[in-house]
Structure 1
Amino acid sequence: MTVPPTRRRRLRTWEPSLDGQGLHPVVDSVAGPALVDLASNDYLGLSHHPKLIAAAEAELQRSGVGAGGSRLVTGSRPVHDRLESALTSWLQRDRVFLFPSGFQANLAAVLTLANRHTTVLADRLIHHSLLVGVQASGAQLKRFAHNDLHALHQQLQACRSQRQDARLVVISESLFSMEGTSPDVPALAALCRNYGASLLLDEAHALGVLGFEGRGLGLGLEGITMISGTFGKAFGSGGAFIACGREQADALLQTSGAFRYTTALAPPLAAAALAALDLLKGHPCWGSDLVKKSNRWRHRLEAQGWSRPAGIGPILPLLVGGDQPTLEYQQRLEAAGVLTVAIRPPTVPEGTARLRLVLHHRQSDEALDALVNALGHGDLRS
């Protein structure tokens, strides 16, 4: 397969700075100067928090590094039970199941809800893992324009008019990772409820940041069948989960190969995620504070002449358009000590290459100054 030079991917190695707020590029085992981290998804900076580290270390001594088996064999540990129970209460759902990765959790969620007799209606920009799940399920896929609930309404109406008992599943995200945008989740849930469609909502990037006390945009809403989330972002750990009702929980436990045939989430990661959840409960304003900071950054970038990044959360996409100019901006920022990543097709649609800026809870105003000075005056239009 021939890949254009501007779209070739390469692995880079990074050494976290001691304060956890920067990253050192490592070349030939030598770490370079630290760069301000505007690229990772560690939104609340919890990956280096002493309480997460202590919890992981204690569980490491108690349970070892890995679980040694699947949850249905010998892999379940008390820490798994505690984390699932705590999340069940925090998210106001009936049951939670843990997974080693978000990709795996999304596969399991889709395959639990859909089969070859199902029609899946999905936002055009859902994560690749969700699309892989739809493909594996054999369901018929229909896609609607990004966050366009009117288009979704029309598709649901058409499906029901063709067949009243059609099995329908809608898939969307509460915070899209490359767009920074969110749908009207209450309206989305109501629409699915009205048409008898199951709704799978991926809250991976919203949890810990958006919604009441950072508990996501789907909290307390009827009409949401399943929520998927990860611990590798705002929770600062690793692994993922599905939260759902009793009926879906039993179906997942009895039939999901993605749950049954995998080694359980490493106990130290589960312990760290549980410590992160305790911190979130104790600091319910962390997410809203980060949203306020994100809006200040949006105002500043707009005042500098750049198109205002969409959304309200900590993901700020600066649309550039072409692959090469976007790479050049990335290189310019790195030379100025700021790390952000040029996101190019096929990750995003053709002609929409962008710089994906990611804000973190502890970032200073100096980071914004460095970014704006390195970018210069914007002449871009979205």
Structure 2
Amino acid sequence: MSDPLQLTAALDQRKSNHLYRQRRLLQSAQGAEVVVDGKPCLNFCSNDYLGLANHPDVVAAFTSAANDFGVGSGASHLVCGHSSLHHQLEQELADYVGRDRAVLFSTGYMANLGVVNALVGKQDAVFEDKLNHASLLDAGLLSGARFQRFLHNDLANLEARLKKSTENKKLIVVDSVFSMDGDLAPLDDLAALAKQYNAGLMADDAHGFGVLGNSGAGCAEHFQLDQQQLPVLMATLGKGLGCFGAFVAGSEQLAETLIQFARPYIYTTALPPAVAAATLASLKIMREDVARRQHLQSLIAYFRERAETLGLTLMPSITAIQPLMIGTSEQALAISDALLAKGFLISAIRPPTVPVNSARLRITLSAAHSEQQVERLLVALAEVMS
């Protein structure tokens, strides 16, 4: 068969390098216990950090709103798709993170593309951490701005680049919690550098929102950064909140700039109103059920303490992301498969998501887990790693 795009060769190469990815079939709702490919498993790879994806109040809000508003939103926000539920959610999210306004996006990837490209262009410069999420890196590349990657959490390397920059506008972009390592960006120090060099600062709080901060408001609360210090705050709704979509929060001027200039916002169908309603219900739980977040924090501490006693070397992380470094892709796959055989679902993360020879198990904890379930995982890890 003709293959002018050489697809077969590329796929075969990926298989031979142990980098081929396959989709597993989820046959149950998200939760600590799931059914995957017909097999019951304990789920330790979901981003549903607070266990809200299948919460009865969230499901009920979704169902009720679907009965009232239907399923599809019908159009983009700027045509006729911006419902009262969307508007209410934007207002409550802005209030929660202490910003003037929030703007909803249909996905986090689109939010990052939209924001960076709305804020900087060919006469400007964007500075990104080398371990930023792919959506942030793509956003910087597509913006046309001078794109520079600084060494991971290396303030001196970033400052050296800022000093040399002569571009019109400068934007520093980081993940607040790095999705494959679980560590935090030093946002307080980054805010100080941004002020010193008259640069904007943007943080993607996808993995911090709902988890970090006394009230779960995320990285801005954790580092106590106001809107002036951290002017562009993005977070997703599909992780800590257990729903779908994303938002960007900041000043009145930022919100209006995104509405006027962010192409992924302007030219995309709005989230279904029922998703906005579900997110409102989830946000209410996140605000009021403090014990849920406290339970997650206790599980994180328990997991790390027990892992150390068992001789398991974890990467430094205070978040729900607890990576276990393996090394080669082949080894990581073998260990992931061995855990699956024991009833534990944990993905092997391999290049190009992470650097070569840094394949790992990305273990994620959730408030839906019990301490007993975490202990079972630890015992299984010790067995398969021995």
**Identity across the alignment (%):** 35
Q: What is the CA-CA distance between 1:265 and the residue it aligns to? A: 0.8
8 Å Cα contact 1:153-1:191 kept in structure 2: yes
Counterpart selection for 1:213 from 211, 215, 226: 215
Q: Does 1:136 align with 2:136?
A: no
Q: Secondary structure at 1:214's aligned position in 2?
A: coil
2:229 equivalent in structure 1: 223
Shift of 1:238: 0.6
What's the secondary structure of 2:206's corresponding residue? coil
The equivalent residue for 2:169 is 167
SS of 1:53's partner is: helix
Distance in structure 2 (CA, Å) of the matches to 1:127 and 1:262: 22
Letter in 2 for 1:262: T
Q: Of the candidates 34, 37, 41, which is equivalent to residue 23 of structure 1?
A: 34
Letter in 1 for 2:28: P
**Structure 1 length-normalised TM:** 0.93
Partners of 1:306 and 1:194 in 2: CA distance:
41
- Looking at structure 1, the residues matched to 369 and 286 of structure 2 have their Cα atoms a distance apart, in angstroms, of 18
Q: Deviations over 1:73-131 (max 9, x none)?
A: 11011100110000111111111111111111111111122111111110001111111
Partner of 2:316 in structure 1? 310
Q: Is the 8 A contact 1:100 1:266 kept in 2?
A: no
The size of the alignment, in residue pairs, is: 370
Counterpart of 1:13? 25
CA contact (8 A) 2:178 2:185 kept: no
Q: Identify if the C-alpha distance between structure 1 residues 378 and 191 changes in structure 2 by more than 3 Å, giving closer, same or farther.
A: farther
Paired residues of 2:127 and 2:149 also in contact (CA < 8 A): yes
* Structure 2: runs of 5+ lacking an equivalent: 1-9
Structure 2 counterpart of 1:4:
15
Q: Could you list the per-position Cα deviations for residues 50-94 of structure 1 after superposition, in whole angstroms to 9, with x for gaps in the alignment?
A: 110111011101110010001111101110011000011111111
Q: Which whole-Å CA distance do the structure 2 matches of 1:377 and 1:303 have between them? A: 14
Normalized against structure 2, the TM-score is what? 0.92
What is the rounded CA distance, in whole Å, between the counterparts of 1:365 and 1:373 in structure 2?
Answer: 12
1:15 positional shift: 1.5
- How many Å separate the matches in 2 of 1:349 and 1:207? 26
Give the CA deviation at 1:253.
1.2
Q: Give the Å deviation of 1:154.
A: 2.1
CA distance in 2, matches of 1:12, 1:196: 47
Moved over 6 A (4+): 377-380
CA distance in 2: counterparts of 1:293 and 1:373, whole angstroms: 15
Q: Give distance in 2, aligned partners of 1:366 and 1:296.
A: 11
Residue 78 of structure 1 pairs with residue 84 of structure 2: yes
Shift of 1:42: 0.5
The one-letter code of the counterpart of 2:144 is G
Select 1:248's aligned residue among 251, 254, 257: 254
Letter in 1 for 2:49: Y
Q: Kindly state the Cα deviation for residue 212 of structure 1 after the two structures are TM-superposed.
A: 2.7
Provide structure 1 residue ranges, at least 5 long, that are not aligned to the other structure. none
CA distance in 1, matches of 2:171, 2:92: 28
Compute the RMSD of aligned alpha carbons.
1.7
- Would the aligned equivalents of 1:200 and 1:227 in 2 still touch at CA under 8 Å? yes
